[in-house]
Amino acid sequence: EKGGYPHFMLKEIFEQPECINDCMRGRVNKETHEVILSAVNDHKEHLLNARRFIIVACGTSWHAGLIGKQLIEAFCRIPVEVEYASEFRYRNPVISNEDVVIAISQSGETADTLAAIELARSKGAFVYGICNAVGSSIPRNTDSGSYIHVGPEIGVASTKAFTGQVTVLTMLALTLGHEKKLINDTTYTHIIDELVQIPDKIKEVLKQNESIARLSRIFTYAHNFLYLGRGYSYPVALEGALKLKEISYIHAEGYPAAEMKHGPIALVDTEMPVVVIATQNAMYEKIISNIQEIKARQGRIIALVNPHDTVISKLADECIEIPETLECLEPLITTVPLQLLAYHIAVCKGKDVDQPRNLAKSVTVE
Ligand code: F6R
């Protein structure tokens, strides 16, 4: 049932190219460059007239929500708030029938997310679910929604569900932005052309599995890790840190890279591996100086770089190559090596990666 893989987690990491294709199947048309989510078509009025979106979720799904915020704000110019469902439900949030709440949940059973939905609906908000488990409680309690269609996720650490969620959020933002005429046809076509290539680009990253396993052995005995990214890569840094924490039990934190100088850089020394998402996008020059600051304090850098990067490859201790894509689509690729890094470190430490201590696959209690 693990399809020849030693763990479900590794199997599910490797399934991601196929899962993203499944998620886009029947929704993204490569020839006509159309993105159609049936739920969006059925509820266009609600979605296009939203005064704001509020994304509610927990854990990894919350990280996908942070990326969704950037996508929706960039393409649709509608303000988006991202809330931990557990906080939202208990703080009497300002919410009305002009708001659209997007609930993201792999299992569709997370108690706090369900309660957040009930609260939002009681205040008249339209609720859109992004779930994986078909027929689960959240899809049954939302006004509309889209399944991510990535198949059952067995490993407790969420992997393919995250990239599936980000894929749906990308399609949602694209189709709404295009409807609102905020994305012109050329840009829209270009993004779709790039989106359909993502599965093949993930395959390029998966080919580096052996070298990621090797560098994981170097860093297995670290007690702390930092993960840094900016822009679209900041939520990826949070997600990379969460993966490492939950399966290897190593303390890790994700930070927006520029926040380092406001405190966390005090932690950096020779013992501190720092994972930096350093692809060549609008933030590239800024990331280089962030890396220099860490090197000046003898930190050890594992950098995610585009092929042929000659600058960062000289500064970093280890590099993982990321095929080029549009900045807004990078999280779909950059997340994958961070999943592999966490996986291999946990395996090196002899941990049970599919069933980490203290964790359950769906959190149906508060
Ligand atoms: C992390 C992880 C958890 C879940 C969170 C929400 O790998 O699995 O953080 O993402 O418990 O679960 P869902 O998405 O089922 O609501």
Residues labelled as active-site residues: 361
Q: What is the pTM of this model?
A: 0.97
Question: Average pLDDT of 123-132?
Answer: 97
Count CB atoms within 10 A of the CB of residue 73: 14
223-255: pLDDT as tens digits: 999 999 999 999 999 999 999 999 999 999 999
In three-state secondary structure terms, 73 is helix
The per-residue pLDDT for 366 is 75
- Partnered with residue 52 across adjacent β-strands are 99
What percentage of the chain carries pLDDT values higher than 70? Answer: 100
CA angle in degrees (0–180, nearest 5) for 330-336-337:
105
In three-state secondary structure terms, 15 is coil
pLDDT at 365 over 90: no
pLDDT at 325 over 80: yes
Return the ligand 1 atom nearest residue 131 CA. 14
Using the mean position of ligand 1's atoms as its centre, give its distance from the Cα of residue 104 in Å. 10
The per-residue pLDDT for 360 is 81
Question: Average pLDDT of 351-363?
Answer: 86
pLDDT bracket for residue 362 (50, 70, 90)? confident
13-30: pLDDT as tens digits: 999 999 999 999 999 999
Q: Are 274 and 226 in contact (CB under 8 A)?
A: yes
Using the mean position of ligand 1's atoms as its centre, give its distance from the Cα of residue 245 in Å. 13
Residue 219 phi/psi, 5° resolution?
-105, 10
Identify the residues whose C-beta falls under 6 Å from ligand 1.
Answer: 58-61, 105-107, 110, 113, 157-158, 242, 246, 362-363
The per-residue pLDDT for 188 is 96
ipTM for the assembly = 0.99
Question: Average pLDDT of 346-353?
Answer: 95
Question: Average pLDDT of 73-97?
Answer: 97
pLDDT bracket for residue 57 (50, 70, 90)? very high
Alpha carbon nearest to ligand 1 atom 10, residue: 60
Q: Which amino acid is at 64?
A: A
Question: Average pLDDT of 110-128?
Answer: 97
pLDDT bracket for residue 310 (50, 70, 90)? very high
Using the mean position of ligand 1's atoms as its centre, give its distance from the Cα of residue 60 in Å. 5
Return the ligand 1 atom nearest residue 243 CA. 7
The CA distance from 275 to 11, in Å, is: 24
Return the ligand 1 atom nearest residue 157 CA. 7
pLDDT at 178 over 90: yes
The CA distance from 86 to 102, in Å, is: 15
Using the mean position of ligand 1's atoms as its centre, give its distance from the Cα of residue 198 in Å. 23
The per-residue pLDDT for 54 is 98
Residue 318 phi/psi, 5° resolution?
-140, 145
The per-residue pLDDT for 34 is 92
